[in-house]
């Protein structure tokens, strides 16, 4: 009995060695290799439902040519290598995406020259910058908050309408109080239906990531840049 096991094991080992294909097939080469170091700020607002990606773009900015998913980086910085970036790619960006749809770019850099291996200069990635707040969160609100009267959450108007502005319905509260997410009425409106008697908690597009982003932005001082 013991011997037959040894023989079978031996046969298996032999056939495994004999099966060929031990070395990976040579990959067909296309495009460039782009190397970049990213420095992250506001890592608590790292997306979980949305995706943070390194992307390359050509003339059509809505459709990335290549993407590389960036996993949460607690170190604050990291060096990344994107392979097979086509020669028609003109920019590299750090982008927020929603199910492969582009939401916004946090930073971008032009690709130039014709080398195959490119090292870009370091890029700062501010995860709580205001254009992300506008494009990821407030662009969901403008159907109701972009018309005549009431609260304007459109680009160019949203910041001044919110930061250090008292609520019209609860004048003792600020809509956004820099540094203090728990005192900012906008968070109450979006998370607590009982407290405000509005239906914001049922907005189907609103994700937990959006609330986290708003809180982290307020905590970091609710800056406009």
Residues near ligand HEC (CB under 6 A): 137, 140-141, 143-145, 150-151, 153, 167-170, 175, 186, 189-190, 198, 200, 203, 206
* Contact status, residue 218 vs residue 179, Cβ threshold 8 Å: yes
Q: Enumerate residues 6+ apart whose C-beta is below 8 A from 189.
A: 196, 198, 200
Min dist. Cβ of residue 135 to ligand HEC (A): 12
Min dist. Cβ of residue 201 to ligand HEC (A): 10
Buried b (16+ CB within 10 A) or exposed e, 35-51: ebebebebeebbbeebb
Sheet holding 66-69, edge to edge: 66-69, 51-57, 91-98, 101-110
Instruction: Tell me whether residue 45 or residue 153 sits nearer to ligand HEC (CB atom).
Output: 153
Min dist. Cβ of residue 149 to ligand HEC (A): 8
Q: Which of 129, 122, 111 is nearest to 77 (CA)?
A: 122
Min dist. Cβ of residue 45 to ligand HEC (A): 16
Instruction: Tell me whether residue 111 or residue 175 sits nearer to ligand HEC (CB atom).
Output: 175
Min dist. Cβ of residue 12 to ligand HEC (A): 60
Instruction: Tell me whether residue 55 or residue 136 sits nearer to ligand HEC (CB atom).
Output: 136
* Contact status, residue 40 vs residue 122, Cβ threshold 8 Å: no
Instruction: Tell me whether residue 91 or residue 140 sits nearer to ligand HEC (CB atom).
Output: 140
Instruction: Tell me whether residue 116 or residue 201 sits nearer to ligand HEC (CB atom).
Output: 201
Q: Which two tokens stand for residue 56?
A: 């390359």
């Amino acid at each position: 009995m013991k011997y037959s096991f040894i023989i079978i094991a031996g046969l298996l080992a032999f056939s495994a060695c004999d099966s060929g294909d031990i070395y990976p097939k040579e990959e067909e080469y296309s495009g460039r290799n782009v190397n970049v170091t990213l420095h992250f700020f506001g890592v608590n607002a790292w997306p979980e439902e949305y995706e943070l990606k390194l992307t390359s773009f050509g003339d059509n900015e809505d459709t990335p040519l290549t993407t590389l998913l960036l996993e949460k980086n607690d170190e604050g910085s990291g060096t990344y290598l994107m392979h097979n970036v086509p020669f028609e790619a003109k920019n590299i960006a750090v982008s927020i995406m929603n199910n492969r749809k582009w939401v916004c770019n946090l930073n971008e850099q032009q690709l130039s020259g014709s080398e195959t291996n490119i090292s870009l200069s370091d890029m700062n990635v501010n995860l709580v910058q205001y254009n992300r707040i506008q494009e990821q969160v407030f662009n969901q609100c403008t159907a109701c908050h972009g018309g005549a009267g009431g609260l304007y959450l459109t680009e160019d108007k949203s910041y001044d309408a919110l930061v250090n502005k008292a609520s019209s319905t609860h004048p003792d509260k600020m809509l956004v109080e820099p540094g203090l997410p728990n005192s900012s009425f906008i968070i109450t409106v979006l998370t607590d239906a009982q407290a405000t008697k509005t239906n914001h908690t049922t907005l189907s597009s609103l994700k937990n990531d959006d609330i986290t982003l708003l809180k982290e932005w307020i905590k970091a001082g609710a800056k406009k840049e």
